[in-house]
A and B are shown apart, each in its own frame.
Chain A
Amino acid sequence: MLKALQSPLRLMLERLELLFDKPFGPPWNPMRQLGTLAFFFFWVSAVSGIYVFILFDTSVSGAYPSIEYMTHEQWYLGGVMRSLHRYASDGMVVTMVLHLLREFSLDRYRGVRWYSWFTGVALIWLLMLSGISGYWLVWDQLAQYVAIGSMEWLDWLGIFGEPVANNFLTRGSLDDRFFSLLVFIHIFGPLFLLFAMWIHVLRVNRAKINPPRGLAFGSLAMLVVLSFIHPALSHPPADLGTIPTELGLDWFYMFLYPAFDLLGPGALWALSFGLTLLLFVLPWLPPLRRAKAPEVFLEQCNGCTRCFDDCPYGAVIMQPRSDGRPFLQEAVVNPDLCTACGICVGSCPMSTPFRSDAKLVTGIDLPTLSLDTVYERMTAAIAKARMERNTERPGILVVGCDHGANISTVEGDATHAISLPCIGMLPPSFVDFALSDGAADGVMLTGCSDCDCHHRLGIVWTEDRMAGLRDPYLRKRVPRERLHSYWAGPGDLAALEDELQRFRDRLIENGT
């Protein structure tokens, strides 16, 4: 049931991602940067908002003319700032919705990630409050319509003695005091939003908050150009003695208002509350079956902190040594934060196959897929590859992950694959081992799409380890031309196969 919802959505979004990969390149692909883009649009909106506020008159009678002034007299700066303020907020809605759909379709909202999802739902309300309250301040016909609609909606709750909508009953009903309250809401709404955005990523270790410079620059340029050629304009001034007729709604924020006119406040409360509630409990419908968290084997752990550094979920903390061995610290895993991605296993310097022990024991290991099992599977795959290889067909070991392209389909013809929970679980020494003494002719690493690791940091850490930037390094002696990587998502299988073929050709050319 859940899959039936997720899969088509995922397919659609993936199409879009692959489409954007070509012109942008994965690091700048906006579809892979939706959360950071939403943050960026917030900052654009905040900065332009401060400028607009300087020119804004906070009285009922002064608000509209002050905005007309910045739009028409000071169009080159005030007008542009006003437009930036509007369009960046709209951009936030677009990126937020896509971000939500994407996290949902990729199943990145259950298990330990419930926290980000749960706080994300609150962000929807805060963003809506921030945007809608901004439209009140223009005090044009749109503001009048939206303000009265909002107040009637609130009044349905019956918690205010007098209907709040009575503040908009007749000409002269709206006083400066109430108008300052609206201004107050529009200042504190976004501040709360920012606070909540901070809370939203609090549990995400090394969260990416800022988009890459190229993408930030491009999006800003886009907003500025849009602001010049299609500046934000006001409706005619509000007049509480008349009803507005035709309204140019900002559909990103006001999509519910026509529904309100149609269905009435009660139905709309039911709808918005019901939907919010559904979103809130979604991570437990059904809950993610969590794999067991890794165990630390103290006799192997020397307290080097690498697993602590590499865990994308902050699930490892270092504690004072408890077993009397002469090290300062030891690793301790908090199962409540762990996704069993295995990245810590790949980071442990003790995870090496070049040992004489009968069973491979490392400092930190997954109970469900121990490094020893990985070792067995890898040697079996290499053995099969060796049997089938010939001069035309180099023996290749493919290491992939459970969230990327389905690598079992590339099996055969001297190519054999193993899959890990995350490519970051692969210790570099395993690559060394696979290529030493000509065990395999080549090793191909793959996982999720570029810049889009399911466990966020698995790909980056792997690349860094192979490039000698991050402990544990891939040793210098490993012939780099026999190692290859291509980050292919589930929808990118064809590209992976092409790349694999190219790798084969290269290996043959190099005479392996």
Chain B
Amino acid sequence: MSSSVNVYFFIAPLIVFGPLFLWLLYSFGLREIAKIPGEIRRQNKLNSEKEDRFERERARKRGRGPVGVVRGANTSVLGLFAQAITYAWFAAVVGILASSPPYFFSAPEDAQIKLSLSHPGKRKVECRLRSREELAKLPPNMRAPKDCPRERWPVFVELEVDGKRIFAKSAAPKGIANDGPSIFYQAFSVPAGPHRLTMRLRESGNEGFDFRRSETVTLDNSQVLVAGFDSASHSVFFK
């Protein structure tokens, strides 16, 4: 399937929330710094530059102060040795936790069934032709001969493995006008080996199901099988 997601879905939150967050920070955290008038800011910049020059000078002389116990960096052989041990200890923590202990996501003799489908339900109300009187009541620019309410039925999907129902859910259509596809996505772990799979799908307000498929499949160790709906051939598939 082609990727229906474009870059904007990822950037959109950044574009929306990024500036909001920055604005928040600015107005509560930085404005008091930033709102200083230009002339004063320039003068203060000069002040700081002067101070920075002194500060560089000081930094060189610092640590050899004539008062008190100046506990400088420990560069004795013993100190360096002890530092090496500390570093080794830190490195061990980082090195070990960076790839262990292992996590067993799925047992080797298990397989996975992934139910993923995106299917639009039938429209709730079929399109119908508008009568003349109706058309006359509408403003001229909206006089479409057909009235097509866009709302769709929710889609209901059922999945059975070896006669046991493991999934049964109805999903509302996406979109503000309830006119988009209904979307299902769920993964199930099953033991590898042969299984009888049955999937049923209802896309309308009717009783019973509009689509169904039953099939015996043999799953290898760790295999992923997708249960979905192929919109081209209009049928349920296991693959």
Contacts and interface: CB of A to CB of B under 8 A. Distances in A.
19 contacts: A22-B82, A23-B74, A25-B71, A30-B86, A115-B25, A115-B28, A166-B116, A232-B98, A244-B105, A248-B100, A308-B47, A318-B43, A466-B66, A466-B67, A467-B62, A467-B65, A469-B58, A470-B54, A486-B68
Interface in A440-490: 445, 450, 460, 463-464, 466-467, 469-470, 480, 483-487
B7 interface: yes
B125 to A, nearest CB: 24
A118 B29 contact: yes
Contacts of A464: 58, 62, 65
A181 B68 contact: no
A180 to B, nearest CB: 9
B98 A245 contact: no
B188 to A, nearest CB: 11
A7 interface: no
Given A170-B239, A175-B3, A202-B30, A317 B62 contact: no
Contact of A218 (B87, B116, B174): B87
Given A23-B83, A24-B86, A161 B98 contact: no
Contact of B67 (A161, A233, A246, A483): A483
A25 B72 contact: yes
Nearest to B222: A242
B87 A222 contact: yes
A436 to B, nearest CB: 17
Interface string A16-59: 00001111111110100000000000000000000000000000
B137 interface: no
B69 to A, nearest CB: 5
Given A178-B5, A247-B105, A445 B95 contact: no
A318 B40 contact: yes
Nearest to A151: B5
Interface residues on A, range: 35 or more
Contacts of A185: 10
A68 to B, nearest CB: 16
Nearest to B29: A115
A236 to B, nearest CB: 11
Interface string B133-144: 000000000000
B161 interface: no
B113 to A, nearest CB: 11
Contacts of B205: none
A212 B118 CA distance: 57
A493 interface: no
